[in-house]
Amino acid sequence: MKILMVTSEAVPYAKTGGLADAVSALSIALEKLGHDVRIIMPRYYRIDRSKLEHIPGPMGVHPGYQEIWTGVYTTKLPGSTIPVYFIDHEHSFGRDGIYGVPGETDFNDNPQRFSLLGHAAFQLCRKIQWYPDIMHCHDWAAALPAILLKCTHRQGEFARTASVFTIHNIGYQGVYGKHLYPYTGLGWDQFYSAGFEDWDRMNFLKAALVCADKLTTVSPTYAKEVQRPEFGFRMDGILRYRSADLFGILNGVDTTIWNPETDTYIPQKYSVKTLEKKKKNKAELQKKMGLKIDPDVPVFGIITRLADQKGVSELFGPAYGSAFKMCSDIHMQMVVLGSGEKWCEDELVSLNRSLPNFSAYIGYDEGLSHLIEAGSDFFLMPSRYEPCGLNQMYSLLYGTLPIVRKTGGLADTVENYDEKTGAGTGFVLENLTPQSIYDTVGWATYAWYNKKEHIQKMQERGMKQQFGWEVSAKKYEDVYKSIQT
């Protein structure tokens, strides 16, 4: 099958979250199944043109009112022969940030920018004379091709092209003033019929949920949760209506990058058979983060976007967050890597100053994220909602016991500890409150000091889990096949 992935992010080129990991890893797994997969994304300012190949000639794209002249660059996705096509348009994408200036508001011309990407997907196919069976669109920024196919574009060379829309995070919908709607290139009649209309504004994600041939999201539990008002971010009604077309497929882990036996970022490689070597990474982490080097104190790691979704208010909220109390009362160390909301970054700076057993690094650091996974004893991820979540899976594979809230992909991947039998792969909390985080961390610490054999068995169980993309890629293949004409 010919599959075009349309996306605003893909590793190693541009990433704000798990979407970027998922698109590239899924593409590689599908290629291994014998499919002709290609990726289209914007060329943001930071993607160095000199390392790409230029496809000669300008490419005219016609979203909305005007014709826009773009360039197309290409390269192969590392570890594969998958062509990645970058749409080059200085005015739209030649800036820092993918959706907005990091930590600030979204760019107000996002509807223009991502409408350009959507229309460019069709123009690119014409330019390279390659017409996909499936256009697989990821999240709101890449929603438009699925909408265009349903409304206007399923004709000529695209007559047999079907669309799949994957929800990586329903909290981000691309909602803008409707005066920007004409940039989509669609008529006002479609504003309602395609599902864009959202309380008199325009909503890209909502239209994709209405128009795409099939919908997927990134874990089975999240597929059920988004059909409920608490998790659906107002889209639960549409998703209940489309439930027969909605599939939950768990993201995999790219084990060429996330594998403690081969990880090039960590000072000491280890496996389930040499788990004691993990201690060296712990010492290195403690040293790097300026904490006391002590093998006998449990280290709790956190790597996260500092966004409300991740439970950061309950952890770090001024005065009521649990981190201060945990680090004050419990004999533990806490290491945090994250960036995001300003109030939270400020709070982390203040906790850094006041707690000797707390250390936060504010920023994005791939190497440190690997060291935290390898060097921590526990990994804390008390998300309010979590479509799939990657770090709890990395943690399992690195023998770092995850402490998670029972939601979405976290519920699908972590089995709660049973202190009677020693069963489980981590610690699960039901309700998201500062107190429940405190209690669960206390429980884990108690087990760490008093139930060493249970802890080790859980680590071993986690490290033996299989989270490869092969299984998930086959499930996507089934979805694609179900809409082949």
Rounded CA-CA distance 363/367 in Å is 12
102: left (phi over 0), alpha (psi -120 to 50) or beta: beta
Looking at beta carbons only, is 303 or 327 nearer to ligand ADP?
303
Phi, psi of 103 (to 5 degrees): 85, -10
CB of 47 closer than 8 Å to CB of 86: yes
Q: The tokens of 399 are what?
A: 């023998």
- The binding track of 161-180 with respect to ligand ADP, each residue x by CB under 6 A or -, is --------x-----------
Q: Which CB atom, from 213 or from 386, has the smaller least distance to ligand ADP? A: 386
**Of residues 262-321, those binding ligand ADP (CB under 6 A):** 303-305
Build a one-symbol-per-residue string for 317-356: x at contacts with ligand ADP by CB under 6 A, - elsewhere: --------------------xxx-----------------
Residue closer to ligand ADP by CB (options 250, 458) is 250
Query: Which residue, 88 or 139, has its beta carbon nearer to ligand ADP?
Result: 139
Q: How many CB atoms lie within 10 A of CB 62?
A: 14
Q: Are 375 and 418 in contact (CB under 8 A)?
A: no
By CB under 6 A, name the one of 1, 2, 17, 268 that touches ligand ADP: 17
Q: Do 25 and 86 touch, CB atoms closer than 8 A?
A: no
Angle between helices 452-463 and 434-450 (to 10 degrees): 110
Q: Is 281 or 339 the residue whose CB approaches ligand ADP more closely?
A: 339
Considering only 58-66, 266-274, 358-366, 443-451, which stretch makes contact with ligand ADP by CB under 6 A? Answer: 358-366
Residue 9 binds ligand ADP (CB under 6 A): no
Site pattern 184..223 for ligand ADP (x: CB under 6 A): ----------------------------------------
87 contacts 44 by C-beta, under 8 angstroms: no
Residues 380-399 that bind ligand ADP (CB under 6 A): 388-391
Nearer residue to ligand ADP within complex by CB, 44 or 181: 44
Distance CA 186, CA 204 (A): 12
- CB of residue 249 to ligand ADP, shortest distance in Å: 14
Residue 178 burial (CB count, 10 A): 17
Q: How far is the CB of 449 from ligand ADP (least distance, A)?
A: 28
| Residue 411: exposure state from Cβ atoms within 10 A (0-12, 13-18, ≥19) | buried
Beta-carbon-side half-sphere exposure of residue 132 (alpha carbons within 13 Å): 28
* Number of residues engaging ligand ADP in binding (CB under 6 A): 18
Q: How far apart are CA 100 and CA 106, in angstroms?
A: 4
Residue with smaller CB distance to ligand ADP, 30 or 348: 348
Q: How many helices (H) and strands (E) does the chain have?
A: 18, 18
* C-beta of residue 70 within 8 angstroms of C-beta of residue 88: yes
Rounded to the nearest whole angstrom, what is the least distance from the CB of residue 429 to ligand ADP in the complex? 17
Give the residue, chosen from 109, 345, 365, 415, that forms a contact with ligand ADP under the rule CB under 6 A. 365
Three-state DSSP class for 44? coil
Q: How far is the CB of 21 from ligand ADP (least distance, A)?
A: 5
- Are 24 and 84 in contact by the 8 Å Cβ rule? The answer is no
Among 24, 281, 369, 440, binds ligand ADP (CB under 6 A): 369
Six token digits for residue 266? 């960590």
The per-residue DSSP string of 180-239 comes to GGGGG---HHHHHHTT-EETTEEEHHHHHHHH-SEEEESSHHHHHHTTSTTTSTT-HHHH
Instruction: Determine the residue with CB nearest ligand ADP.
Output: 18
Backbone φ, ψ for residue 106 (5° rounding): -65, 155
Residue 196 phi/psi, 5-degree rounding, is -65, -35
Q: How far is the CB of 265 from ligand ADP (least distance, A)?
A: 11
At its nearest, how many Å lie between ligand ADP and the CB of residue 203? 20
Q: Residue 21, interface with ligand ADP (CB under 6 A)?
A: yes
Stretch that binds ligand ADP, among 17-25, 40-48, 236-244, 421-429 (CB under 6 A): 17-25
Q: Shortest distance, CB of residue 361 to ligand ADP, whole angstroms?
A: 8
The residue within the footprint of ligand ADP, chosen from 233, 265, 343, 364 (CB under 6 A), is 364
Give 111 or 338: the residue with its C-beta nearer to ligand ADP: 338
452: left (phi over 0), alpha (psi -120 to 50) or beta: alpha
Of residues 73-132, which lie at the interface with ligand ADP (CB under 6 A)? none
* Residues making contact with ligand ADP (CB under 6 A): 17-18, 21, 169, 303-305, 337-339, 364-366, 369, 388-391
